[in-house]
Structure 1
Amino acid sequence: MEHYLPQIYWHDRTGLLSTDFHPVVKDGRYKIATSSVQKEVRIWEYFFFKAKKPGTNIEFEELQVNFIANLVQHNNSVNIVRFSPAETDTLLASGDSEGRLVIWRLNDQSVAQMTDEELPPNKENWVRYRLISHEQDVTSIAWNPEGKLLASVGRDGHLMVHEVHSGKRTVCIRNFRQFPNGITWDPRGKYLAILSMDRKMDIVDCNKGTKLKSIAMADLPARSICGLFAEAKPYRLWHDDQLAGFQRGVAFSPCGELIVAPAVQMEIGTQDIYGTFVFKRSEIDKEKPFCLLPTAKATFLVRMCPLIFELRDSEENYTGLPHRVMWLVLSKEQMYIYDSQHRHPIGYIDNIHYNNLTDAAWSADGKTIIISSLEGYNSFLKLYLEQWGNVLVERPEPPPSPQLIKTRKKRAKVVAQDAEENAAGEEAKENVQITMTAPPTDAPTPTKLAKVKVNVSTPSSKLPTSTPTTPKAGPMDKFVKKETLSEKSDDSQKNAVNQPIQKNDASDVIAINPPPKPTVSMIATRKEPRKSVDVITIPH
């Protein structure tokens, strides 16, 4: 795993808020979208190429980034950008701090001449295709697997689903106590999972807009978690509204069997346990997480690797899935990589940016990860899939989804009446017989038989370098960290040099001071823990 940090002013030195990958990778070229506290969305292309170190024959892979387009339709900070998963129709959605959700479409017509002389000319013509409005900030968006529907949530407390091509609104839910800021679409097209500031995760029928489950608390058994003894009692599962972050990015696994949700905060005595919960689709009706992935600090984002891998031989498999899926978890300073087979993180990233991390994305081929930060730079991670295992070519047939809507029980009197009617109907069917009609007295003896008709009722069933004026700050800008790069650099240099691993006497949670240079590691075998502990399964 290699780390790259291009010295590019992605959005004129302003903090980056979101990034995402285009679903198609052509000839090793990746297309990405970025947004920031400025009011533009920008499209970029990057690729890796072979280069040699000066004066040597040593080859290495260099990263080349090219500017593609600057999209202008927003009047405030752009909080979120997401490409449509449809490969045949290039669409991009972006939501801002004014409540405007713009759907962009790549147009084949020639590119219009730009008026901003400080920017390089656009190479692609992106036009506004649809405009959707929330009353306040758009906090998170999610496409359905076919790219025909778009779900969005905002600070106005609304969940809305729109048909992209017609603009018709199909679902609208307004009964959130506090605003939702994380949403994901089931890859099987059945559910929406939503995390909110009211410390709940809701499972919603994406077709009818019905809330099927609302998970806020769970009865957990007594056990030791990170050196703390947790009593058997109901626990609140999610972080309160003091969690500083732009989103709570929950995610379905690409197979649809797992839901991985960040922003966990369990209060055990006077101590807090942070981490990420994993829910099984087959057990979502129990409203209880399957396991906990503990971390040193609060997490706020989960992004899934789009690939599915074969199981490794002679390895544990704590989830019981017939394959392996991988995902990344983001906190303000670290990134963890997990899979569904090992009980500990298989990758760990730390100290790559001076300011808070804001978003991350995984490329469609699973080979690169991009991480954005408030300091205005993007980090790139190049992965080597042969180190992670064999990609599964044929995906297994998934089991059926659980029944989350229970049928209503009838009253005892109604049930008894239905039983009597059914019994009478069955008895009438059995007693149907052929009889002879009585002939009139003045008529000859009949020679034909007539059947008695019985009615039986049945029940129904180059790149910008200047710094333009920053637009008016939106409500989401209150989360932007105010300290300067020099302050953060001085603090990290004072506290990071030759600091040993320390233990917190109160909570016994492992804490590691950040190193003075970026840390990118793969954990192939279980050694000493790195700011995390093993997965904690929760009995059901």
Structure 2
Amino acid sequence: MNASTITVHWHNDSQPIYAVDFQPSPDSVSPRLVTGGGDNNIRVWKVHSDQNAEGPPSTSIEYLSTMRKHTQAVNVVRFDSSGQFLASAGDDGTLIIWRLARGIIKDFESEEDDDDIKESWEVVLQLRSSTSEINDIGWSPNSRYIVTGSMDNTIRIYQLELDSQTQKLTGKLVESLKNHTHYVQGVYWDPLNQFIATQSADRSVIIYSIKEENSELKLKLHHRFIKHENQFMYQSETLQSFFRRLAFSPDGTFLITPAGMWNQTRNTSKGTIVNASFVYARSSLSTTPILKIAGLNKPAVAIAFNPKKYILNSSEQAITTLPYKMIFAIATQDSVLVYGTDNFKPLGFVGNLHYSSITDLKWDLDGRRIIISSTDGFCSVILFDEGVFGTEYEGSLHNPQPIDTDTPSIAEDKTPEIGLSFDKMHVHDETKEAENIEPSQDSKTQPKGATIDQFYKPKEKKRITPTLLSQ
């Protein structure tokens, strides 16, 4: 595992970079990386892995294009699942959909000379329902809808229609909900198209269930997470971050949320508050988290999953009954930690990459690279050696059956789900501030304090499902 900062001129005047994303592709490596910046621009890059005779490969960046339509800072850039469309949004409150143009288009309105441009992207749709800043967006799996989270405490759903003959894209607002009482800083569309998860500066995570009736999409409040055992689970609005970027796993089994906090002694007046991320199983989205990853050195701001699945390592005792493991990264304000879902133990830790706060992170399609953005105006990269996570899983994925979202309690849900064996859980009773350590491929190496604890201990040490977790 190798980490380094990529020293290129990312955006004008070293303005902050608020978002990154890789373009999906049938190939194993993404053809493009996009960045959204505080200079109001979106830039497109090609990432190259340069093999070195000595040492690990390095990463170089090739500039491809700049998109200039936003009038204020760009907070988020996200490709749809096909990679054909790119959605962007920011402080100007406008959602813009882009598509790669067939040739080079000169921007005569721009005052900047762009002789190095290698391709052009054209605007195919602009949507604006409010003047409020948009912090985050998420595509539906079928690319028919986009959800936005705004600073007017509102999430909005837009429906898109693509004419197969003219290739013209149209869109309309189909849902607008204001169940948060503060800025919405993170949104994510469930890959199984059953839920939308949102996270806000009001210290809550809201789960919406999705219904489509007569080709019309409707959202219903499924559950709101604010407190557990009478203590707040998430940081207040004083957290110095624009984003709380939560994420579902690629198979929809887990939802992991940033900006968590936990009182170790559960004494609000004398207790020690530690930073945490919370893990929800699909069947616990109306009860409680199933796990907390505690003791992070700084508050977590973003979660990102490796798009690949890997064969379980027989030498490690898995705590889930999934036939594979997934890898995810947690970005705190100043570091990145990598975990596996087989036992949720840290696989590596990287710190001191940037001079100011991290804003976003994304995995490349091959699962061997993470790109991290920061308000210092630079991006960094973490490279993993081939095979470090094991052999790629080629079998069928775990596919939970649809959950009855009208069921008031998940305890009544009969849906088969993953299992957890909590007698194998690695539990720490004491949490200390995390320290920077060298990146490690050894899953037994972890930063001090980067611990994971169960919320409930079963009466019997046996494999149980999250649906049975109750007080």
Do the two structures share a fold, i.e. TM-score over 0.5? yes
Superposition map of 1:491-502 within 5 A: none
User: Does the C-alpha gap of structure 1 residues 318 and 29 become closer, same or farther in structure 2, counting only changes over 3 Å?
Assistant: closer
| Residue 223 of structure 2 corresponds to residue 213 of structure 1 | yes
Q: Does 1:66 align with 2:66?
A: no
2:451 partner letter: D
SS for the counterpart of 2:338 is strand
Match of residue 444, structure 2, among 523, 526, 538: 526
List per-residue Cα deviations over 1:317-364 (Å, max 9, x = no partner). 223333211110011111111111124211111111122211111112
For residue 89 of structure 2, what is the aligned residue in structure 1? Answer: 95
Where in structure 1 are there 5+ consecutive unaligned residues?
A: 53-57, 220-233, 409-506
Give the residue type in structure 2 aligned to 1:390: T
Question: In structure 2, what residue type is equivalent to 1:202?
Answer: I
The one of 203, 222, 243 equivalent to 2:207 is 203
Write 1 or 2 for the structure with the bigger share of helix. 1
The residue aligned with 2:393 is 392
Q: Which residue of 2 aligns with 1:105?
A: 99
Letter of the structure 2 residue corresponding to residue 131 of structure 1: Q
The reply to whether residue 173 of structure 1 matches residue 174 of structure 2 is: no
Which amino acid in structure 1 is aligned with residue 432 of structure 2?
Answer: I
What's the CA shift string for 1:465-488, capped at 9, x where partnerless? xxxxxxxxxxxxxxxxxxxxxxxx
Query: Which residue of 2 is the match for residue 131 of structure 1?
Result: 126
Q: What's 1:293 paired with?
A: 293
Asked whether the 8 Å contact 2:24–2:30 carries over to 1, the reply is no
Match for residue 184 of structure 1?
188
Distance 1:298 1:512 in 2: 11
**Distance 1:62-1:289 versus aligned 2 partners, 3 A rule:** closer
**1:237, 1:28 → 2: CA distance?**
37
Offset at 1:72? 0.6
Q: Which string of whole-angstrom CA distances, capped at 9 and with x for unpartnered residues, describes residues 267-315 of structure 1?
A: 3333212110000112223x21101001232111111111111211132
Distance in 2 separating the partners of 1:74 and 1:118: 18
1:263-412 → structure 2 map (5 Å cutoff): 263-267=259-263, 268-269=266-267, 270=270, 271-285=272-286, 287-294=287-294, 295-406=296-407
Opposite residue 174 of structure 1, the aligned amino acid is K
Q: Following TM superposition, by how much is the alpha carbon of 1:253 offset from its aligned partner in structure 2, in angstroms?
A: 0.6
| Superposition deviation, residue 202 in structure 1 | 0.9
| Bigger-Rg structure (1/2) | 1
- 1:111 and 1:27 map into 2 onto residues whose CA distance is 29
- Distance across 1 between alignment mates of 2:315 and 2:4: 34
User: 1:484 maps to what in 2?
Assistant: none
Aligned equivalents of 1:249, 1:275: Cα separation in 2 = 14
Q: Check whether the contact 1:321–1:340 (CA below 8 A) recurs between aligned residues.
A: no
After superposition, the Cα gap between the structure-2 partners of 1:236 and 1:319, relative to the gap in structure 1 and judged at 3 Å, is farther
1:98 & 1:282 partners in 2: Cα distance?
38
Decide whether aligned partners of structure 1 residues 310 and 120 sit closer, same or farther in structure 2, where only a CA change above 3 A counts. Answer: same
Query: Structure 1, residues 158-217: CA drift from partner, whole Å, max 9, x if none?
Result: 211112333022222123222211111111111101111111111112331111111112
Structure 2 unmatched ranges of 5 or more: 162-169, 211-216, 410-428, 457-468
Q: Partner residue of 1:458?
A: none
**Secondary structure in 2 aligned to 1:208?**
strand
The 5 A counterparts of 1:224-239 are: 234-239=230-235
**1:481-518, CA deviations, whole angstroms, 9 ceiling, x for partnerless residues?**
xxxxxxxxxxxxxxxxxxxxxxxxxx95323555xxxx
Alpha-carbon displacement from aligned partner over 1:393-447 (angstroms, at most 9, x marks no partner): 1233413243331379xxxxxxxxxxxxxxxxxxxxxxxxxxxxxxxxxxxxxxx
By how many angstroms is 1:79 displaced? Answer: 0.9
RMSD, aligned CA: 2.3
Secondary structure of 1:282's partner?
A: helix
State the TM-score, normalized to the length of structure 1. Answer: 0.72
Match of 2:6 in 1: 6
Q: Distance in 2 between matches of 1:158 and 1:48?
A: 41
Cα distance, 1:512–1:394 mapped onto 2, change above 3 Å: closer
Post-superposition offset of 1:31: 0.8
Report SS of the residue matched to 1:346. strand
Kindly indicate whether residue 241 of structure 2 is the aligned counterpart of residue 245 of structure 1: yes
Aligned pair in 2 of structure 1 residues 177, 92: CA closer, same or farther (>3 Å)? same
Structure 1 runs (4+) greater than 6 angstroms displaced: none
Letter in 2 for 1:120: D
1:149·1:164 contact (CA, 8 Å) conserved in 2?
yes
Q: For residues 21 and 28 of structure 1, do their structure 2 counterparts lie closer, same or farther at Cα, with a shift above 3 Å needed?
A: closer
The CA distance in 2 between the partners of 1:143 and 1:401, in whole Å, is 20
Residue 122 (structure 1) aligned with residue 114 (structure 2): no
1:140 aligns to 2:58 (yes or no): no
Rounded to whole Å, the distance in 2 between the matches of 1:250 and 1:60 is 31
Q: 2-side partners of 1:140 and 1:9: how far apart?
A: 25
Distance in 1, Cα, partners of 2:408 & 2:357: 47
- The whole-number CA distance in structure 2 between the counterparts of 1:109 and 1:238 is 47
User: CA 1:153 to 1:113, structure 2 compared with 1: closer, same or farther past 3 Å?
Assistant: closer
1:21·1:31 contact (CA, 8 Å) conserved in 2?
yes
In the alignment of these two chains, the number of paired residues is 415
**How many angstroms does 1:29 deviate by?**
6.0
- Residue aligning to 2:16: 15
Q: What is the rounded CA distance, in whole Å, between the counterparts of 2:326 and 2:57 in structure 1? A: 27
| Contact 1:251 1:303 (8 Å CA) reproduced | yes
Partners in 1 of 2:113 and 2:197 — Cα distance?
42
TM-score by length of 2: 0.83
Amino acid at match of 1:125: S
Aligned partner of 1:257 in structure 2 is 253
Give 1:28 shift: 4.9
Which moves more between the two structures, 253-262 or 529-538?
529-538
* Identity value in percent: 21
Alpha-carbon distance between aligned partners in 1 of 2:407 and 2:59, rounded to the nearest angstrom: 54
Match of 1:155 in 2: 151
| Corresponding residue SS for 1:510 | coil
- Distance in 1 (alpha carbons) for counterparts of 2:105 and 2:26: 23
The verdict on how the C-alpha distance between 1:273 and 1:513 changes in structure 2, with shifts beyond 3 A counting, is closer
Secondary structure at the aligned position of 2:285 is classed as helix
2: distance between equivalents of 1:260 and 1:194?
11
Whole-angstrom CA distance in 2 between matches of 1:36 and 1:406: 43
Alpha-carbon distance between aligned partners in 1 of 2:56 and 2:235, rounded to the nearest angstrom: 43
Q: Residue 509 of structure 1 aligns to which amino acid in structure 2? A: T
Alignment check: 8 A CA contact 1:510 1:530 kept: no
Tell me how far apart the structure 2 counterparts of residues 523 and 177 of structure 1 sit (CA, whole Å): 42
Distance 1:179 1:60 in 2: 42
